[in-house]
Amino acid sequence: MYRELPSLVTLEKPTPILATMNSYCRTETANARNEIARKIFRAASALPVILLVALFLRLGNAWEYQHPRSPQALSTIPFLLEPGNIAYSLAVGKGFSSPFRADTGPTAWTTPAYPLLVAGIFRLFGVYTFPSYVASVLLNILFSTLVCVPVFFAGRRIAGVGVAAMAAWLWAIFPNAIVFTVSIWDVSLSALLVATILWATLLLSASRGLRAWLAYGFLWGFATMTNPTLALLLPFLLGWLIYRTRLLAAPALALGVTILCCVPWTIRNYAVFHAFIPLRSVMGLQLWMGNNEQTQGKWAGALHPIDNSADRARYVQLGEVAYMEEKKQEAMRFMLADPWREARLVGNRFVVFWVGGTATPIRSRGLLLFNLLAAIGALLGIVALYRERNLCIFPAAIFVIAYPLASYLTLASARYRLPIDPVVLLLAAIALRKLGTHFRRSDDEK
């Protein structure tokens, strides 16, 4: 027995066969782990999964919002803002008029797409009814959920599937994207249009087919008739497409189609107001609300004629065009009187826009943090694309550079920022990808 002990001891030392077996087992374990990781990644990157989660979160928020409120309140109160008031006038046969809760006559307060959509809901489900509210919210939820699709494909074209899935997930869980679906505003539809425009622009940079350019023009026409502020981006994106494709006729065709989509509305405005109003008339009021003695560069709801009876009476007395011109002149005098004060107001609106100001002060620190991190992530994403010499940097970055300019000069709120948040979150996903790559390299070096 004592003679067997040395042989037993020697077996404790790895033999070539045991070493090979151990190496094989480690390799198989690593392969199994990698396969599991790949399956998890494929599942998490599946667009239908992301869409289902986004839909579930938005439906859950809608249920939580309506549960403590009476159907009678939800039948009327959410519609008592400009889009709902105009939609009411359209539904009862008074035409595109009366943006307030009173019969004030024809208006060009906003472009017609979203009020017409709400008016159609009124005609189907009844004016100021709970089914109309439910239908309006479900439509907003549909728009907001579908944003994941163009965000995913635009992200995949810019930086691959990983970034595409991450950007879609960020939008799916983005608090503002969830919260605003219960409000009767065009922001969910505008966000869908912005994401689709970015995706279409990237696709068109490699296309020479006239049908694609025609479709691009119609897309821009509908977007402009939904949210006129988006028109600020059109010359920049068309200019980039001209640079990338070396084409002139096709972009000119797309521009012509966009203009033709706006012409009927412009003609209607001239016929009604005897003034050239290509899109909407409200710029003078927005400029004044952000630039007067009573505002500090934030939202000044008490000054709005929808709530302020004196200003509403002035609006009725002068008529819409003269009222807007008066407000614009007052705002210009205020802005030019003290440039340093105006610079402070612009800076204040800049902070409110990117950190997340709304019509009422935000008390949720988590929401503030999410908005701030998204804004920082967008900046870092632009830097990452620049360092990579990514050709898609311009169409992605221009949304977050050009679009907010109107808010810096007038009013800032989370609602005004939401249309470009799909691009903001896409850029943030690019920054997260870059950050993850940096940490992996650091670990490998160790």
Q: What is the pLDDT of residue 17?
A: 65
| DSSP 8-state assignment for residue 332 | H
Sequence-distant contacts of 387-396: CB under 8 A, at least 24 apart:
390/158, 390/159, 391/244, 392/157, 392/158, 392/202, 394/236, 394/240, 395/198, 395/201, 395/202, 395/237, 395/240, 396/158, 396/198, 396/423, 396/426, 396/427
| Cα–Cα distance for residue pair 224/259, rounded to 1 Å | 9
pLDDT at position 414, please? 85
Phi, psi of 363, rounded to the nearest 5 degrees: -105, -10
The overall pTM is greater than 0.75: yes
pLDDT means over runs of 10, the chain (446 residues): 42 56 59 59 81 97 92 93 95 94 91 97 96 97 98 95 95 94 96 98 89 96 97 96 93 96 97 94 93 69 82 92 95 93 92 69 66 93 94 94 94 91 97 76 54
Structure tokens at 392: 């898609």
Identify whether the C-beta of residue 397 lies closer than 8 Å to the C-beta of residue 129. no
Residue 142: what pLDDT? 98
DSSP 109: S
DSSP 198-257: HHHHHHHTT---HHHHHHHHHHHHHHHHH-GGGGGGHHHHHHHHHHHH--SHHHHHHHHH
- Domain limits, the chain: 43-445
Q: Supply the DSSP symbol for 166.
A: H
CB 424 within 8 A of CB 149: no
The helix/strand count (H/E) of the chain reads as: 23, 0
Q: Using an 8 Å Cβ cutoff, are 410 and 286 in contact?
A: yes
Q: From its phi and psi, is residue 379 left (phi > 0), alpha (psi between -120 and 50) or beta? A: alpha
pLDDT, position 16: 63
